[in-house]
Amino acid sequence: MQELVQLAEGCGYLPGGVNAGVVWAPDGRAVAVDTGGDREAGRNLLRAVQARGLRLVAVVNTHSHADHYGGNDYLLRQVPHLEVWAPVFEEAVLRNPYLEPFYLYGARPPEALQNKWLMAKPSAVHHVYPTGDGELQVAGLMLRVHRADGHATRQAAVGFGPVCYAADSFFGPEVLEKYEVPFTHDVAGQLDTLERLRGWPYEWFVPGHGAPVGRPDLARVLDANVRAVRQATERVRRAVGSGATADEVVHRVAEQLRLPPTNPSTYFLLRATVMAHLTYLLEAGQLSWVLDRGALRWLPAAD
């Protein structure tokens, strides 16, 4: 059984493909920060919490990607009176998981896209919280919330004691190395979050994916993330070349990846990220777009 790793008094996490945070009070009341992608992740989390003699009373989800709230359904069934907290806007997806494949695809998605990677089981949401920086009292524990949008529309990072559960506001270097183009909804927001993160007052930063980063290593890891985002923008700008449709741009970017998409789900995740970079370049005045006999073509901006 995977055990909770303690980082500080009352602060730990369960390592996994998606890290789940756990914070607790001296009387044993525990709050999870995200729950992993599925029933098994939920079960592992509950077992690890109980093995430490803690009592799970609430879940705070950081954002609505299926791999971060997919354990909620199991936990809600197993733990009476469990309370789920979700950020404003993101909460709609927890209640209606169909929204994720729907927004990635743009219409009713084919059944093949309505899978567990893009769509977790729905979760009740008992409390919707704002994602501006501030305090959040959850089951008697005083958490801090930090706006961490960019990767997702209204993602939050959650702090307790000296530990920041940063969700997908940054990725571990090993994860960046593997996937190269980090998923994003809003590039400017993502870069802004990466800058603001440097000033958050914690000793430990636990990303959703990757090992916890201590304060002395934080700048190096954030620099690597900024580099990856900027390289992704540059890949997209180069893929536009002298002009291309969005699908041509996606194809050209994919061709250069060590791990190009191998199924429709990963294709649409990459496509959404490419679209975010196209928006960013358009709004920075580096690209324009034009309708050319029914084709929407992206073009380098005229000087």
Minimum CB–partner distance for residue 228 and Zn ion (Å): 15
Residue 209 touching Zn ion (CB under 5 A): no
Buried b (16+ CB within 10 A) or exposed e, 40-69: ebbebbbebbeeeebebbbbbbbbbbbbbb
C-beta closer to Zn ion: residue 188 or 282: 188
Number of residues forming the site for Zn ion (CB under 5 A): 2
What's the closest the beta carbon of residue 132 comes to Zn ion, in angstroms? 20
65 binds Zn ion (CB under 5 A): yes
Please answer whether residues 138 and 46 qualify as being in contact, where contact means their C-beta atoms are separated by less than 8 angstroms: no
Which of 56/148 has CB closer to Zn ion?
Answer: 148
SS3 of residue 176 by DSSP? helix
Nearer to Zn ion, 149 or 168 (CB): 168
* DSSP SS3 for 56: strand
Of 249-288, binders to Zn ion (CB under 5 A) are none
Strand order in the sheet with 213-214: 134-138, 141-147, 156-160, 163-167, 204-207, 213-214
- Shortest Å, Cβ 104 to Zn ion: 13
Query: Measured between alpha carbons, how far apart are the two ends of the chain, in Å?
Result: 60
Report how far residue 113's alpha carbon sits from residue 98's, in angstroms, rounded to the nearest whole number. 10
Nearer to Zn ion by Cβ, of 70 and 161: the residue is: 70
Q: Are strands 244-245 and 213-214 parallel, antiparallel or unpaired?
A: unpaired
Cα–Cα distance for residue pair 96/105, rounded to 1 Å = 16
* Contact range with Zn ion by CB under 5 A, out of 59-67, 77-85, 128-136, 282-290: 59-67
Query: What residues numbered 154-183 form the site for Zn ion, per CB under 5 A?
Result: 168
Closest approach of Zn ion to the CB of residue 64, in Å? 8
CB 145 within 8 A of CB 127: no
Closest distance of CB 94 from Zn ion, Å: 13
Q: Which residue is nearest to Zn ion (CB)?
A: 65
Contact between 185 and Zn ion by CB under 5 A: the answer reads no
Q: How far is the CB of 183 from Zn ion (least distance, A)?
A: 6
Residues that bind Zn ion (CB under 5 A): 65, 168
